[in-house]
Amino acid sequence: MEYNSVRKDLILPEYGRAIHRMVDHLKTIENREERNKASKTIIEIMGNKNPHLRDVEDFTHKLWDHLFLMAEFNLDVDSPYPIPEKKEDAGPIPLSYSDEKQIKYKFYGRNVMNMVKTASGMDEGDEKEALIEVIANLMKKFYLNYNKESVEDEMINNHLLELSEGKLRIKDEYNIDSTSDILSHKNKKRRRNNKKNFRKKKNH
């Protein structure tokens, strides 16, 4: 079981922990061809955060810079652009928002839907399994934002099956965060934010 208190800080928080975990897994892929293929998949998922800009040349370059930054520049893949130096600050990407009307379960968001679509089209293998595990954990976290009481993994699995048209499912060997762990982290974060707000009001 992985507890939130021991998780490392995110290098680019705007991408979230899911993509950072994918980048960490990317660095462990020994086969170069598979590693290159996985890196392009991650770039595609990163680009989905700005679907209207993803085909812009400079924007795509920025995505590759961010990929190397999240990998702490310890990544051997065939980038279409010069590999940035470690001192370079790629900076955050301004996120845009798209139409959510076609999403059946709006609390999951379009980014999760894009990840489900990407995973559904991947060949079987470790990269696909790692992405499905990330998606399942994200879905559980987002569901608990919508329903703060509880959620069973079976329900998340049923939603995943439905959204992927039966192509993706949660397997027993996946490391799915417990409801209590997720809610505990949310409560700790809320208490920290309340303390910060209290100090700000007190200083004014």
User: Do 162 and 85 lie in a common domain?
Assistant: no
The range of the structural domain enclosing residue 139 comes to 104-204
Q: What is the pLDDT of residues 147-184, one digit of tens each?
A: 767 788 999 999 999 999 999 999 999 988 888 877 77
Q: What is the pLDDT of residues 119-129, one digit of tens each?
A: 998 889 888 99
- How far, in Å, CA of 144 to CA of 61, rounded? 35
- Provide the number of structural domains found in the chain: 2
User: Do 121 and 48 lie in a common domain?
Assistant: no
Q: What is the mean pLDDT of the chain?
A: 79
Of 63, 96, 129, which residue constitutes the final position of a domain? 96
Q: Please give the residue that has the higher pLDDT: either 7 or 49.
A: 49
User: Do 140 and 48 lie in a common domain?
Assistant: no
User: Do 8 and 69 lie in a common domain?
Assistant: yes
